[in-house]
Amino acid sequence: MLKREKPKERFSYDPKKVLQQLERFGKKVLEEITRGRNPFIDVPTRGLSNVYFDERDRLIKMGDKTSRRYLFHVAHARKFMQTLLISAYIKRLVSEGKHASLREAYYANKHTIPGSKENTFEDQSESDPIIEDLERMFGVLREEMHITADRRGYIYGDVVIKDGEDEFNASKLGMGGWAVPGTVEHIEFPEINVDYVLVVETAAMADRLIEEKYPKKEKALVVATQGQASRGVRRLIHRLHYEEGLPIIVFTDGDPYGWYIYSTIKQGSINLAYLSEKLATPEAKFVGMTMDDIKKYGLENVTEKLKGIPPNKKGGPTGDYKRIIEEMNYPWFQNKEWQRQLKLALEWGVRIEQQALANKSLEFVAKEYLPEKIGNEELLP
Amino acid sequence: MLKREKPKERFSYDPKKVLQQLERFGKKVLEEITRGRNPFIDVPTRGLSNVYFDERDRLIKMGDKTSRRYLFHVAHARKFMQTLLISAYIKRLVSEGKHASLREAYYANKHTIPGSKENTFEDQSESDPIIEDLERMFGVLREEMHITADRRGYIYGDVVIKDGEDEFNASKLGMGGWAVPGTVEHIEFPEINVDYVLVVETAAMADRLIEEKYPKKEKALVVATQGQASRGVRRLIHRLHYEEGLPIIVFTDGDPYGWYIYSTIKQGSINLAYLSEKLATPEAKFVGMTMDDIKKYGLENVTEKLKGIPPNKKGGPTGDYKRIIEEMNYPWFQNKEWQRQLKLALEWGVRIEQQALANKSLEFVAKEYLPEKIGNEELLP
């Protein structure tokens, strides 16, 4: 039986820490300028060359390569100026307790430099990487710097949430549930009456479980990701696991996209490798859909064909086949359970959706499939 | 000043009505069979040929063309069988107070007909149109038949919502807000302490307004559509206007997609013409972004170029230009205010985002732009 465990981390959000880091950084640059030196920043290198899979922690991590960026350097000056502009902006945001989206941060800092025709930023593609650089430099999430991510996803279950002055139970909001905001750093959980978190890919399936009163009957907190999990949702899952000791179970479609959603929640993504320690949850487990489910529950009639060309056909592999082969090479799928599922998918050339379980009956997923698999811990690692 | 008006409609959700319609339909078919006749259904014709713009009601509506579908007819039998299957399924759903997604409805009704190799449905593209046919035949929303639409969007503001046994205030849910479910038929509003509804295209802008305490200060209910408004959100807007008398103001990006979002909320869409009377809100007004805003607020530096080829260039018009020209021909944009904005967009070749207002300051949109424009009723029809 899944039960809440002892927490491994403490609620750690501290805006003062970010302010201190920014101040230290600003002072260092100022000091170098007043001493007549050429100020520089060491920015951790981005890209695959500086990313590795840490076998011990089971996380995608950032390496220790850095590159130096000087103020007085033809190739660096623009980025240096941009880094200072955004740093100053973030200092204002955090001091004032305000948040801005990536796009607002871009618009707010775009202007023409007086006495020139030069714009500080031409495009959001110039400001986003600067914010990422600051995340890498300071080892903080951009959410901690009050830059919010796109929001998507909602939760439902017997958990009391404290967000600012408001406190409410996320199982008393009708069928709607609570919309997860872009930033969840400041959120606290004064009361938790669930045994585990069930992360669900599709809104339709989450709504099915809510209608069947699954969260209440099985003491679960349902988290609907509505596709790929947003940063806010991934951070929420991480916090619920590490700070509240809740086991995390993921339930997606049985297709390469669903397995990728699981993989991102579990291990982080290559783009955000430097943030895995705050966003990923390597202890997450996977309940389904699996290829074995098709046979076990007699769902052959409601599978769909994989898209693309199989590896043994001319022009292949493409589409789903290509994605599956890529996933077979992920370090965290190097175990017999996952290799078996991925091989079966290639062999049978099919995929299976969560909602296909409705073929048995609407209640089947809530009354049999999930309680049985989770109760018996028939979970993939 | 915008104020709540006298309601024009009453809360009208009545599952019994749907059940009666289904029963009457089933009995009619049964009677014809027992009398040895060939049973038929008259289904309102779909497509543009049976759609018109009602100038008086200012709504896209369905015409009165129908086509007859027989049970004993080589070309009709399959669809006839499917219509009966789905009707029976919906009767079960409504009787049991359960809801199913379109996809669940497909999976639940897909099976191989005993003694044959024939599947009842091969694909969801077979079951969706049957459900639409039933909507047309009975003049009810599929939500009233307990078939839920995809959900997207959330709301925030001083409104008490009653959803089943739960009752809560949608301004006491932290920064998150209440996630709007796929079906809002059963929702009631025991208490409304706002003067109007502000419908906002992007989550980032809605979050900005929440952070600036706009809903409280301006007594507004903020509805975030997160792109094109979902059916649930459109129905919610309709109900808040007609049943609760709240004026509806729409705030989107100043680009053809934003204007299309407005247009769909206001007038309905061609696909769903037969549902305009329940989904659309022709009295909705538009606050921005407009082309005039660019000059008035000095936003020239934060516009973006329209995508595509202009009409006077070789190969044009394409992309944004083409969309704008199409929108100029919409019956509901046949007024000088909208023609002016659309012409200016073509002339200047630019678009402007909601979030570009952050260039003035983060607070600008909440403290000046919206209160000024809405206070002075500088709204487009």
CATH number, domain with residue B183: 3.40.1360.10
- For residue B245, what pLDDT is reported? 94
Q: How many domains in chain A?
A: 2
Decide if pLDDT at B176 tops 80.
yes
Closest residue, chain A, to B232 (C-alpha): A176
Task: Compute CA distances B284 → A57, A286, B244, B281, whole Å.
Answer: 54, 46, 14, 6
pLDDT tens per residue, range A270-280: 767 777 888 99
Cβ-contact B351, B308 below 8 angstroms: no
What is the set of active-site residues of A? 107
B7 occurs within a structural domain? no
pLDDT over 90 at B63, yes or no: no
Residues A313 and A367 in one domain: yes
Given a cut of 90, is residue A331 above it in pLDDT? no
Does any domain span residue A353? yes
The answer on A216 and A96 residing in a single domain is: no
Contact (Cβ atoms closer than 8 angstroms) between residue A236 and residue A223: yes
Query: Is any Cβ of chain B less than 8 angstroms from the Cβ of A300?
Result: no
Residues A296-322 have a mean pLDDT of 94
Q: Is some CB atom of chain A closer than 8 A to the CB atom of B301?
A: yes
Average pLDDT over residues B278-298: 95
pLDDT (mean) for A240-251: 96
CA atoms within 13 A on the CB side of B125: 0
Above pLDDT 90, what percent of chain A? 80
- Tell me which H or E stretch contains A207: helix A203-211
pLDDT tens, residue by residue, A144-180: 999 998 899 999 999 999 998 899 999 999 989 999 9
The amino acid that residue A356 corresponds to is: A
What is the β-pairing status of strands B154-156 and A220-224? unpaired
The answer to whether the CB of B102 falls within 8 A of the CB of B128 is yes
Nearest to A287 by CA among A194, A205, A369, A355: A369
Residue B6 forms part of a structural domain: no
Amino acid in the structure at residue B60: I
Q: Based on the domain organization, do B166 and B121 belong to the same domain?
A: no
Whether the predicted pLDDT of B299 surpasses 90: yes
Cβ contact (<8 Å) for B104 and A362?
Answer: yes
Is the per-residue pLDDT at B359 higher than 80?
yes
Q: How many CA atoms lie within 13 A of A9 on its CB side?
A: 14
Q: What are phi and psi of A38, to 5 degrees?
A: -90, 105
Chain B residue with CA closest to A180: the answer is: B176
Q: Which of the four pLDDT bands, split at 50, 70 and 90, describes residue A139?
A: confident
- In this structure, are residues B284 and B237 in contact, taking their beta carbons and an 8 Å threshold? yes
Report how far residue A57's alpha carbon sits from residue A38's, in angstroms, rounded to the nearest whole number. Answer: 39
User: Which chain B residues are closer than 8 Å to A201 by Cβ?
Assistant: none
Q: Given CB atoms, is B215 within the 8 Å cutoff of chain A?
A: no
Smallest Cα distance from B345 to chain A, Å:
20
pLDDT for A280-293, tens place per residue?
A: 999 999 999 999 99
Residue identified by tokens 């921005």 is B288
| pLDDT (tens digit per residue) in B364-373 | 999 999 999 9
3-state secondary structure A286-352: EEECCHHHHHHCCCHHHCEECCCCCCCCCCCCCHHHHHHHHHHCCHHHCCHHHHHHHHHHHHHCEEE
CA distance B224 to chain A (A): 11
The answer to whether residue A9 is domain-embedded is no
Query: Based on the number of CB atoms within 10 Å of its own CB, is B213 exposed (0-12), middle (13-18) or buried (19 or more)?
Result: exposed
* Between residues A61 and A376, the one the model is more confident about: A376
- Which among A108, A176, A362 has CB closest to B180? A176
- What is the mean pLDDT of the segment spanning B296-321? 94
Nearest to A244 by CA among A3, A9, A1: A9
Nearest CB to B203; choose among A151, A226, A301: A151
Q: Which residues pair with B192 in a beta bridge?
A: B159
Q: Could you tell me the CATH number of the domain that includes residue B26? A: 1.10.10.10
The last residue of a domain, from among A126, A148, A170:
A148
B36 Cβ partners below 8 Å, 6+ apart?
none
Judged by a CB distance cut-off of 8 A, whether residue A190 touches chain B is no
Q: Hey, how many other C-beta atoms are within 10 angstroms of the C-beta on B14? A: 12
Q: Are residues A239 and A93 in the same domain?
A: no
Mean pLDDT of A212-241: 96
B291 and B172 in a common domain: yes
Task: Kindly report the nearest CA distance between residue B246 and chain A, in angstroms.
Answer: 22
Q: Do B158 and B80 fall into the same domain?
A: no
pLDDT in tens, A85-122: 999 999 999 999 999 999 999 999 999 998 988 999 99
Higher pLDDT, B192 or B271: B192
- Same domain as A331, residue A210: yes
User: 3-state class of A206 per DSSP?
Assistant: helix
Confidence of residue A13 (pLDDT cuts 50, 70, 90): confident
The reply to whether B142 falls in a domain is: yes
Backbone φ and ψ for A345, nearest 5 degrees, come out as -60, -45
Residues A356, A296, single domain; the answer is: yes
Rounded to two decimals, the ipTM of the complex is 0.88
Helix (H/G/I), strand (E/B), else coil: B227: coil
- List the single residue in B with minimal CA-CA distance to A185: B175
Residue A236, domain member (yes or no): yes
Q: Is B164 on the interface with A (CB under 8 A)?
A: yes
Share of chain A above pLDDT 70, in %: 99
| Both tokens assigned to A75 | 């190739």
Q: Per-residue pLDDT for A11 more than 80?
A: no
Instruction: Give me the domain span that covers residue B299.
Output: 154-375
Q: Tell me if chain A has a CB within 8 Å of the CB of B201.
A: no
A141 and A100 in a single domain? The answer is yes
pLDDT at B91: 96
Residue A236 and residue A189 in contact, taking contact as beta carbons nearer than 8 Å: no
A182 contacts in chain B (CB < 8 Å): 203-204, 207
Instruction: Please say which residue of B148, B163, B186 terminates a domain.
Output: B148
* Strand, coil or helix: B280: coil
Contacts of A101 in chain B (CB under 8 A): 204, 207-208, 355
Contact B163 A181 (CB under 8 A): no
pLDDT of residue B53: 85
- Structural domain ending residue among the three candidates A148, A179, A204: A148
Tell me, yes or no, whether B94 lies in a domain: yes
Quick one: tokens of A316? 């292949």
Backbone phi and psi for residue B87, each to the nearest 5 degrees, phi listed first: -60, -45
Residue B45 banded pLDDT, cuts 50, 70, 90? confident
Shared domain check, B271 and B354: yes
In this complex, is the C-beta atom of A118 within 8 Å of any C-beta atom belonging to chain B? no
Q: Return the H-helix or E-strand segment holding A257.
A: helix A256-267
| Domain-located, residue B3 | no
> Which residues in B lie closer than 8 A to residue A113 (C-beta atoms)?
none
Residue with tokens 């489910």: A293
- What residues 262-291 of chain B have any CB closer than 8 A to a CB of chain A? none
Q: Which two tokens stand for residue B295?
A: 């000059």
State whether residue B218 is helix, strand or coil: coil
Name the B residues in 216-245 with CB < 8 Å from any A CB: 226
Q: B131 and B191: one domain?
A: no
pLDDT tens-place string over residues B110-134 = 999 989 889 999 999 999 999 999 9
**Chain B contacts of A111, Cβ < 8 Å?**
301, 359
Count Cβ neighbours within 10 Å for each residue of B250-260 and write b for 16 or more, e otherwise: bbbbbbbebbb
Element (H, E) at B304: strand B304-305
Distance CA B157, CA B171 (A): 5
* Per-residue pLDDT tens over the stretch B230-263: 999 999 999 999 999 999 999 999 999 999 999 9
How confident is the model over A123-137, as pLDDT tens digits? 999 999 999 999 989
Task: For residue A202, give the amino acid letter.
Answer: T
Is B220 within 8 Å of B372 (Cβ atoms)? no
Q: How far apart are CA B203 and CA B191, in angstroms?
A: 25
Same domain? B80 vs B186: no
